[in-house]
């Protein structure tokens, strides 16, 4: 039996979009099941017990001849799909250093980029500035600075190369594309980062590319 994939997702989430974009670029069918994170739909007892004890989407559900498996963490799910596809366009380089360097940028994405750029986008674009708590408001400036730092590091890196790692698109590009291309919804102007803007265009031109919902 070939595997069948279902993504548990909120379509507004860039972390979920990464997985959909990976599947699209690989030509893999991917069903989806939607949740509204603003309504707490990923914190229900059923979700915590059966999908992800961490109460977060995305989660990739994998059906095969084994018992159904659930894989949380967006970048791990992208890894699984690309390693399962395992072909010429697998989006994971074969060279050991390039593979580790790709993971390096995916960890950078989760540590330096997402908590700043995705969080400010979520607060400003979906929650609304007027609805933020004092504690959230107190963190905005630190997240603004750290997000700009992350974009600057990417822009410097991309000013000398076309892709984050090696000579073609990898999961590092997909992971970083997800929240970078909507960074303006978090108040990050991309006009200051010309190498990023050119790279966004290269990703949009990849065969099989799909836009975020």
The residues that touch a copy of itself, with contacts defined as CB under 8 A, are 53-54, 62, 69, 71-77, 79-80, 83-84, 96-97, 99-101, 103-104, 106-108, 110-112, 114-115, 135, 138-139, 141-142, 153, 156-157
Q: How far is the CB of 176 from a copy of itself (least distance, A)?
A: 13
Which of 212, 208, 109, 87 has the alpha carbon at shortest distance from 165?
A: 109
Q: How far is the CB of 205 from a copy of itself (least distance, A)?
A: 27
Q: Which is nearer to a copy of itself, 130 or 141 (CB)?
A: 141
Q: How far is the CB of 82 from a copy of itself (least distance, A)?
A: 10
Q: How far is the CB of 76 from a copy of itself (least distance, A)?
A: 4
Q: Which is nearer to a copy of itself, 74 or 209 (CB)?
A: 74
Interior/surface letters 156-191, b for 16+ CB within 10 angstroms, e for the rest: ebbeeeebbbbeebbbbbbbbbbbbbbbebbbbebe
Q: How far is the CB of 3 from a copy of itself (least distance, A)?
A: 10
Cis upstream peptide for 58 (omega within 30°): yes
β-strand partners of 70: 61
Two structure tokens written together for 11: 């379509």
**Cβ partners under 8 Å of residue 197, min gap 6:** 190, 191
Two structure tokens written together for 23: 């599947």
């Amino acid at each position: 039996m070939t595997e069948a994939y279902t993504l548990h997702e909120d379509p507004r989430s860039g972390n979920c979009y990464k997985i959909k974009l990976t599947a699209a670029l690989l030509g893999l069918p991917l069903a989806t099941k939607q949740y509204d994170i603003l309504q707490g739909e990923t914190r229900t007892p059923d979700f915590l017990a059966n999908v992800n004890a961490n109460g977060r989407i995305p989660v990739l559900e994998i059906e095969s001849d084994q018992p159904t498996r659930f894989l949380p963490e967006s970048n791990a799910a992208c890894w699984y799909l690309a390693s399962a596809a395992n072909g010429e366009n697998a989006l994971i380089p074969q060279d050991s250093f390039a593979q580790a360097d790709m993971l390096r940028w995916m960890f950078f994405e989760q540590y330096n980029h997402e908590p700043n750029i995705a969080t400010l986008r979520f607060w400003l674009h979906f929650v609304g500035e007027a609805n933020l708590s004092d504690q959230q408001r107190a963190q905005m400036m630190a997240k603004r600075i750290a997000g700009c730092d992350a974009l600057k590091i990417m822009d410097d890196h991309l000013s000398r190369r076309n892709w984050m790692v090696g000579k073609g698109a990898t999961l590092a590009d997909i992971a970083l594309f997800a929240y970078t291309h909507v960074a303006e919804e978090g108040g990050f102007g991309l006009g200051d980062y010309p190498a990023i803007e050119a790279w966004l265009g290269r990703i949009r031109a990849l065969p099989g590319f799909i836009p975020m919902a």
